[in-house]
Amino acid sequence: MKHKKGIHFEVSERKILLRIMDLVMVFFAIYALNLYPEFEYIQFDNENLVSLILLGVYITVFGTIFELYDLQKASKIDTTFRNIVITTSTVVLFYLLTPILSPYLPEERIQIVYFYLAIILSILLWRFIYINLIESPRFYKRVLLVGEVSNIDGLVNALNASDPNYKIIGFINSEESTSESVKFKGLKEFEAKDFLDTIEKERISEVLVASFNTEAIIAEVYHDLILLLERGFKIREYTQVYEELLHKVPIQFVGKDFYKYFPFSRSNENKLYIFFHRAFDIVVAVLGLLFGLLLLPIILLGNLLGNYGPLFYSQERVGRNSKPFRILKLRTMIVNAEKDGVKWAQKNDKRVTAFGKFLRRSRLDEIPQFYNVLKGEMSIIGPRPERPFFVNELSRIIPFYETRHIIKPGLTGWAQVNTRYGSSIDDSLTKLQYDLYYIKHRSVFLDFSITIKTLSTILYYRGQ
């Protein structure tokens, strides 16, 4: 069997491609502007190398903050256009206000407008090509799923929502099928005896094995999998793909061999990483508290007019190694909000005051927690600390819930930048999946990514 695989760009490849081509198109646009003698703001030559590098850094950093490289958003032209305009506006503003490193302002200020439009139009042109070419069906990864019928529904729905270019074409039941067996009609089923022919006819580029019990895979399917493996065909296990595409640990699929899925990051025991992580915590916490002092008069006025009561609020939370501590926040709910008992915080919760809603969405209510960070009870980045009542409830229902307490809780975290406010057991399960992913893959790069995403959340006013 000679199989010709289609061309497909992996998630990481598409993100790199977007970043590189954004810069290429912008520099090409500046070079084109230089063809006109009247344009003198920034010249495309060695003397302006530092200025060009600075422009590239600004585009990369602010493009990340304003979600130009979020693949879900990058596949939509309207969202992409909005993010390009916001990113370019911020880049040009910072570029103009950066002394020494950026060029002197031209005598004809209209040249700055040309510069601004050149960046927008060049990136927009490339993104239009990307959406209509790279995001087109010809570059989809065509995947064949092999597994038990009982697992398929949840797995397919999760993967389809994660990457528009990852297309599960159909599935092959890896178990013995009888007339009484449950049938899954949400996806085309291929016969096990036609496994190899299906690979050829459907132009499959990857086989995804989703089986709880590999011992139950029928001999016919197992034989063909071995044959494909020996021929170098790409076969992957579902938990590996789930983590790669969704960036969370699929604990709902983890059984008694749980230890296979939690080879936690070496950064958790890396003394150098821990040192710099703590240094980062202290620096950011000091700056955060100073920023809070500057805003204190405005916060006091807002609390007086829209909160009607104490400014601060203290509550017991569960910290590292399940040790309780008291978290400090700016009060956002009415006084005695839980007089009728402990409740989940809901979206549009009526207990949240008018000023409290602003504090939550802007994340300003978290400022006092910088004090907890300085005390060493919390970190800037980590799983959000939960209340003992909910920890006791959730740990009885959700497997591995207590595992999130092996590191310090944080002001922000991987779950916070990827999900909305948790208000149910299902939400808590999703948050736990993200928290375990962070603990498992914890690194400087992931910390940086969370920091950038947190800035995006604040700037887009998405807090809850």
pLDDT at 118: 94
pLDDT at 461: 59
Bridge partner list, 312: 330
The helix/strand/coil state of 315 is strand
Question: 140-246 architecture in CATH?
Answer: 3-Layer(aba) Sandwich (3.40)
Bridge partner list, 207: 144, 235
> Could you tell me how far CA 290 lies from the centroid of its own chain?
29
Name the more confident of 19 and 337.
19
For 227-230, which contacts have Cβ atoms below 8 Å and span 24 or more sequence positions? 227/196, 228/196, 228/199
Q: What is the band of 297 on the pLDDT scale with cuts at 50, 70, 90?
A: very high
Cα angle 415, 261, 169; round to 5: 80
**Other CB atoms within 10 Å distance of the CB of residue 284:** 17
Q: What is the mean pLDDT of residues 323-336?
A: 89
- Rounded Cα distance between 450 and 457, Å, is 10
Q: What is the band of 43 on the pLDDT scale with cuts at 50, 70, 90?
A: confident
Q: What is the mean pLDDT of residues 447-452?
A: 90
pLDDT at 256: 62
pLDDT exceeds cutoff 80 at 346: no
Pair 228, 207: CB distance under 8 Å: yes
Name the more confident of 6 and 294.
294
**9-13, 262-266, 409-413, range with the lowest pLDDT:** 262-266
Q: What is the band of 354 on the pLDDT scale with cuts at 50, 70, 90?
A: confident
pLDDT at 345: 66
Domain boundaries, the chain: 11-134, 140-246, 266-459
The proportion of the chain whose per-residue pLDDT surpasses 90, expressed as a percent, equals 41
Token couple for 193: 């005896």
Name the more confident of 155 and 402.
402
pLDDT at 136: 79
Pair 383, 409: CB distance under 8 Å: yes
Angle separating helix axes 425-441 and 444-459, nearest 10 degrees: 140
pLDDT tens digits, residue range 104-151? 887 788 889 999 999 999 999 999 999 998 887 778 888 999 887 766
Pair 170, 204: CB distance under 8 Å: no
pTM of the prediction?
0.81
pLDDT at 326: 95
Q: What is the DSSP letter of 256?
A: T
pLDDT at 76: 87
Pair 218, 174: CB distance under 8 Å: yes
**227-236, 272-281, 424-433, range with the lowest pLDDT:** 424-433
Token couple for 334: 């009415």
- C-alpha neighbours within 13 Å on the C-beta side of residue 56: 14
Q: Which helix or strand (DSSP H or E) is residue 172 part of? A: strand 166-173
Cα angle 426, 431, 435; round to 5: 150
Rounded to 5 degrees, φ, ψ at 315 are: -150, 145
Q: What is the band of 189 on the pLDDT scale with cuts at 50, 70, 90?
A: confident
Q: What is the band of 84 on the pLDDT scale with cuts at 50, 70, 90?
A: very high
- Rounded Cα distance between 292 and 149, Å, is 54
The helix/strand/coil state of 207 is strand
Q: What is the band of 380 on the pLDDT scale with cuts at 50, 70, 90?
A: very high
> CB-based burial of residue 298 (10 Å sphere; 0-12 exposed, 13-18 middle, 19+ buried)?
exposed
Rounded to 5 degrees, φ, ψ at 136 are: -80, 160
Name the more confident of 374 and 344.
374
